[in-house]
Amino acid sequence: MRGWRVGLMIAALIVAAAEGFLPARAADPAQVLKERLATMKAINQAMREIKVYSGKGDFAKVLPAAQKVADLTAAIPGLSPEGSHTGKTRIKPEVWKNFGHYKELSGNSVQEAKKLIQAAGKKDRAAVLKAFSDLANSCTACHEPYRVPKKGD
């Protein structure tokens, strides 16, 4: 009887870790940094695609790009474990002082991306443009307190 309880506890821990309830552990901060940077670049690329495709009214191509933004943005808190601000990075230490807020802002961006997906699904150009603007603003809302500006920004 006791064996099933241990198995259940292990399963619960795995689910909790996958859902982001447990803090991520960075075995290799350089690898975490590399993955976070690749994720941010992929988000940036998808945002560029959304801008181009929404301008052309090509909603079929907006949909997967917006879904990509939603999925990648949801992963950001898990790619930001404490101690992963070493090396060449623009993430500020304030992330870990206010991790709940950081995670909340990431969630806001996910929600805005989902609104964009809905608007694109309806092929409503005005709604897509507004949703894209709201999504971009939600990204900026996180960048301002938690990302060091590029030189010249």
Give the pLDDT of residue 17: 45
Question: Is the entire prediction scored with pTM above 0.75?
Answer: yes
Per-residue tens of pLDDT for the chain, all 153 residues: 444 443 333 434 344 444 444 444 445 888 999 999 999 999 999 999 999 999 999 999 999 999 999 999 999 999 999 988 888 889 999 999 999 999 999 999 999 999 999 999 999 999 999 999 999 999 999 999 999 998 866
Chain CA centroid to CA 14, Å: 21
Give me the half-sphere count of Cα atoms (radius 13 Å) on the Cβ side of residue 131: 28
Between CA 130 and CA 136 the distance in angstroms is 10
Residue 101: other Cβ atoms inside 10 A: 14
The domains of the chain are located at 28-146
Q: Could you tell me if 130 and 122 are in contact, meaning their C-beta atoms sit under 8 angstroms apart?
A: no
| 70, two tokens | 């939603």
Q: Is 32 helix (H, G, I), strand (E, B) or coil?
A: helix
For residue 108, give the amino acid letter: N
State the CATH architecture for 28-146: Up-down Bundle (1.20)
Give the pLDDT of residue 1: 44
Between CA 66 and CA 139 the distance in angstroms is 13
Chain CA centroid to CA 115, Å: 15
